[in-house]
Amino acid sequence: MPAVVLIGSQWGDEGKGKITDYLAEKADVVVRYQGGNNAGHTVVVDNQEFKLHLIPSGILYPGSTCIIGNGVVIDPQVLVEELEYLEKRGICTDSLKLSLRAHLIMPYHIRLDELEEERKGVNKIGTTRRGIGPAYMDKAARIGIRLVDLLDEEEFAERLKRNLDEKNNLFNKIYETEGFEFTEIFERYRGYLPKMRKYITDTSVIIHQFLSEKKNVLFEGAQGTLLDMDHGTYPYVTSSHPVAGAACIGAGVGPSEINKTIGVVKSYTTRVGEGPFPTELLDEQGDFIRRQGHEFGTTTGRPRRCGWLDVVILRYAARINGLNSIAITKLDVLDNIERIKICTAYDYRGEVLTEFPASLKVLAECKPIYEEFEGWMADTTTARCYEDLPPKAKMYLERISGLIKVPASIIAVGPKREQTIIREAIFTR
Ligand code: GDP
Ligand code: IMO
Ligand code: MG
């Protein structure tokens, strides 16, 4: 009966989709609570690969209800395309629910995201250019348009007109480019409604119903702790809160409802986009990990920056998210590396830092202090229980848990469902 929050402990792409899919077998409901289609979650089921951006990864199990909560920003075009993509591949999407309170990504948000990145030049964030930042800006500025507004033709027309007056001024006068036309957007967005209407509801009521019946509720985070607007490597972050605490706000439940928080930890570190990355490997070793781990973005196709595991980051993630369990993924990617390193602290101008610094200037100067391990040089992809793993791989895993003082309840040794080792059951039925 627990309500479990699953989050990314690093800079995203830790394998949250795979772990969510695995846990979804026993989850009655899977809820996304923040972000939008900047997320890219790849899930492999029976040798078929599914790429999801907006719809919770739980959709691939027929039994679970999937909810897009109020904290998510929805691009309706992407949603409709994702629904069609799933239906074409034989996945039933009837269980989907969309929050009335979720904000919409509008075409001008996408254009603004692109223009801002271009304007910033070398100082760009490296966003996914999906309009995420501008959509959350409008939400905070109290001019955003929600699904509930889209349902009301008059309200939608009025809000869209007001927004376009303001945005077109920006496009024309600041960016010296053409603006958007009311009728085109109005018709297009109203056109998505027939495909979306049946899913739109007050999702917090539904989640509470599940909670009151002691059902298994899984909150699926997108992005990762270091991309959080408050706790991440600001300003190189996303515009939402990927940390566990945000599940309450983004789904409409109170903190007392949450029983457990799981952090997904990739066995090494990756990052997409700009910003400092102390353990980054800019050499052949980094290229090797990128190739072995297929570290290319699911959303934008960009090569992911790769580096050794950073425990300073993981201890920070354990604290900020209140982790009581971790899921360590992609262990198999390290199978053929002779010497593996873990960063345990930073050297900042001769001073040893054990806490993740707030200043990016400091972070950029931090040199990793490493502990070295002998690689296990053996195939882990066929391991199905902990005892199957080579002793040196177990030592690596135990050292990670020991350093962050959080037990590893799940270990992934490949992208497939069955390539998952469970050490502690998360949900029981
Ligand atoms: P997410 O954004 O956190 O859901 O992660 P992504 O889906 O963007 O990236 C993780 C990638 O690694 C996906 O392509 C997964 O199929 C794959 N993956 C997940 N777990 C494992 C694992 O244990 N081993 C390997 N080799 N691949 C994995
Ligand atoms: P998942 O859920 C990795 C990064 C972008 C950029 C920054 C801001 O697949 O782990 P945005 O478009 O959100 O304004 O971009 O955040 N980013 C991600 N990096 N995984 C993600 O999602 C990401 N979503 C956003 O690359 O650096
Ligand atoms: Mg991803």
Phi–psi pair at 355, nearest 5 degrees: -105, 145
213 CA distance to ligand 2 centroid (A)?
Answer: 35
- C-beta separation of 181 from 106 below 8 A: no
The residues spanned by each domain of the chain are: 3-95+202-422, 103-199
Q: What angle do CA 137, 128, 328 make, to 5 degrees?
A: 105
Under DSSP, the state recorded for 389 is S
Tell me the best of 238, 271, 274, 299 to mutate to test the pocket of ligand 2, counting ligand atoms within 8 Å of each CB and taking the most.
Answer: 238
* CB of 239 closer than 8 Å to CB of 229: yes
- Percent of the chain predicted with pLDDT > 70: 100
Encoded tokens for 209: 């119903």
Give the pLDDT band (50/70/90) at residue 247: very high
Q: How far apart are CA 160 and CA 142, in angstroms?
A: 13
Q: Which of 197, 196, 227, 195 is nearest to 299 (CA)?
A: 227
Give the whole-angstrom CA distance, residue 8 versus residue 265.
7
Cα(161) to ligand 3 centroid in Å equals 35
Taking residue 303's Cβ as centre, other Cβ atoms within 10 Å add up to 13
In terms of CATH architecture, what is 103-199?
Answer: Orthogonal Bundle (1.10)
Ligand closest to 303 (CA) is 2
Contact 288, 375 (CB under 8 A): no
Pocket of ligand 2 (CB under 6 A): 8, 11-13, 38-41, 125-128, 130, 132-133, 222-224, 227, 236, 238-239, 272-273
Position 301 scores a pLDDT of 85
Q: Write out the two tokens for 222.
A: 């997108």
* Ligand that comes closest to the CA of residue 296: 1
**Which residues touch 198 (CB under 8 Å, ≥6 apart)?**
none
Please tell me the predicted confidence (pLDDT) of residue 70.
98
| Ligand 2 atom at minimal distance to the Cα of residue 38 | 24
Within 10 Å of residue 172's Cβ, how many Cβ atoms? 12
- The β-bridge relationship of strands 29-32 and 65-68 is parallel
Q: Return the residue whose CA atom lies nearest to atom 27 of ligand 2.
A: 273
Q: Is 62 exposed, middle or buried, given 0-12, 13-18 or 19+ CB atoms closer than 10 A?
A: exposed
Across the range 23-37, mean pLDDT stands at: 97
Contact status, residue 200 vs residue 96, Cβ threshold 8 Å: no
Which tokens is 424 given? 């502690």
pLDDT of residue 298: 80
pLDDT at 63 over 90: no
Predicted confidence at residue 183, as pLDDT, reads: 98
Find the 299 Cα to ligand 1 centroid distance in Å: 13
Helix (H) or strand (E) holding 96: strand 96-99
Measured between alpha carbons, how far is 8 from 272 in angstroms, rounded to an integer? Answer: 14
Mind listing the pLDDT tens digit for each residue in 272-319? 999 999 999 999 999 999 999 999 988 788 899 999 999 999 999 999
pLDDT digits (tens, 9 = 90+) for 399-408: 999 999 999 9
Neighbours of 288 (CB within 10 A): 15
Query: How do residues 185-235 score in pLDDT, each as one tens digit?
Result: 999 999 999 999 999 999 999 999 999 999 999 999 999 999 999 999 999
- State yes or no: pLDDT of 1 exceeds 70: no
370, 341, 354, 282: which is closest to 314 by C-alpha?
354
Active site residues: 13, 41
pLDDT digits (tens, 9 = 90+) for 159-178: 999 999 999 999 999 999 99
CATH classification number, 3-95+202-422, choose in 3.90.170.10, 3.20.20.140, 3.40.605.10, 3.40.1010.10: 3.90.170.10
Per-residue pLDDT, 322: 98
This prediction's pTM: 0.98
Among 91, 97, 46, CA closest to 67: 97
Q: Is the pLDDT at 429 greater than 80, yes or no?
A: no
Residues with CB under 6 A from ligand 1: 8, 12-18, 40-42, 44, 294, 298, 329-330, 332-333, 412-415
| DSSP-derived secondary structure letter, 102 | P
Cβ(133)–Cβ(127) under 8 Å? Answer: yes
Q: Which ligand is nearest to the CA of 305?
A: 2
